[in-house]
Amino acid sequence: MKKLFSMLFILALLAVAAWYSLTHLVKRRPVELPSVTVTEGPIEQAVASTGTVAPLNRVEIKPPISGRIEKILIDEGRKVKSGEVLAWMSSSDRAAILDAARSQGPAASKHWEDAYKPTPIAAPLSGIIILKNVVVGQTVDPSSILFAMSDHLIVMAQVDESDIGHIHAGMTAWITLDAYPNEKVEGAVTDILYEGKNVSNVITYGVKVKPLKTPAFFRSEMTANISFIISKKDKALLLPLTAVQDVADGDKQVNVAGPDGKPMLRSIKTGLENNEKTEIVSGLALGEKVLITNAKYAPQQGAKASPLTSGRR
């Protein structure tokens, strides 16, 4: 019995020590929440989309007759004017006569070359050659595609139907190619197609974006990322998007430090918003600090040893 009382006494001492440690000796410094400051700067609200570089008007050039290509005067990437000769060809009859004349000597060959003139292949419009599909000596017919040309290159963007209502002709759009991610090209919306496309039950509409100045590195079929600027401000009060909380009724709130230093909710009104920042219309002033309460932080200092224990933590 005496042994039992001794064990109960020891357990009681341990319980008292634990209670004392939890209620009197556990000292924790207040958790300091991270904060961000309301700043001032520009902000843009945009609709993001993808697309491809494509000719505005693509023209395929075919020969007017059957025959043989004798001379090519241009190459891909060359700018040409309407009516400029791209190549010379011989009709099937001329090619046969010249081949026979060459076997008779240089004099006969020159005679028939002067007497029987070649047929020119001319550019139907001014633009740039984007395809050369022929070589000298090749036999062609009216169905053969010799060249393809474009008046100028644009970007054809595909915009989701949920966003198409924000797009209008003349609005600014920034173009970035996958091949040149560090080069931003300014463009403008010129047209919105009337017929949509259904891809995996998602309806998209084609939007034509014309670069204000087409860079030399643009190539047809390149993949492009387009940012349509819905609205922008050069000077606005800004907060990181992560600092703003949504409320059920559509309002916005932030946490600020109260008189006792603890977080206190404050209602605010916001304006423009993008993936990183949001505009503060009212409720906060420039330079105010907003607390970030959605992060997890461990206490900075653990409990001290109880005087009833051995002194180890």
CATH number, residue 92: 2.40.50.100
**Separation CA 148–CA 86 (nearest Å):** 11
Pair 70, 203 in one domain: no
Q: Is residue 199 part of a domain?
A: yes
pLDDT of residue 30: 55
Domain boundary among 233, 255, 280: 233
Number of domains making up the chain? 3
Whether residue 243 contacts residue 292, with contact meaning beta carbons closer than 8 Å, is answered with: yes
Q: Is residue 3 part of a domain?
A: no
Beta strands in the chain (DSSP E): 35-37, 39-55, 58-61, 67-72, 79-80, 85-91, 119-122, 127-132, 139-140, 147-150, 153-160, 172-177, 180-199, 202-211, 223-240, 245-246, 252-257, 263-273, 277-282, 289-291
Pair 220, 96 in one domain: no
Pair 51, 179 in one domain: yes
Q: Residue 283: which residues within 8 A CB-CB, separation 6 or more?
A: 254, 266, 267, 268, 269
Domain boundary among 95, 122, 150: 150
Half-sphere exposure (Cβ direction) of 179: Cα atoms closer than 13 Å = 11
**Separation CA 78–CA 1 (nearest Å):** 109
Q: Is residue 1 part of a domain?
A: no
Whether residue 62 contacts residue 122, with contact meaning beta carbons closer than 8 Å, is answered with: no
Q: Which domain holds residue 156?
A: 47-55+152-233
Domain boundary among 233, 249, 268: 233
**Separation CA 113–CA 105 (nearest Å):** 12
Pair 105, 88 in one domain: yes
Pair 129, 158 in one domain: no
Pair 51, 178 in one domain: yes
Q: Is residue 109 part of a domain?
A: yes
Pair 124, 192 in one domain: no
Angle, CA 210 vertex, CA 207 and CA 216 arms, to 5°: 130
Q: 92-102 and 106-115 are packed helices; what angle lies between their axes, rounded to 10 degrees?
A: 160
pLDDT of residue 308: 36
Q: Is residue 5 part of a domain?
A: no
Pair 244, 223 in one domain: no
Q: Is residue 105 part of a domain?
A: yes
pLDDT of residue 141: 95
Say whether pTM exceeds 0.75. Answer: no
Dmax of the chain from CA atoms? 139
pLDDT of residue 103: 87
pLDDT of residue 60: 94
Pair 139, 192 in one domain: no
Pair 51, 198 in one domain: yes
Q: What is the mean pLDDT of each run of 10 residues along the chain (313 residues)?
A: 61 66 53 82 91 92 95 92 95 93 90 91 92 94 94 92 93 95 95 91 94 91 94 90 83 85 86 87 89 55 39 38
- Tokens matching residue 57: 């008007």
Please give the distance of CA 200 from its chain centroid, rounded to a whole number: 21
Pair 96, 244 in one domain: no
Q: Is residue 272 part of a domain?
A: yes
Pair 179, 51 in one domain: yes
Q: Is residue 310 part of a domain?
A: no
pLDDT of residue 20: 61
pLDDT of residue 133: 94
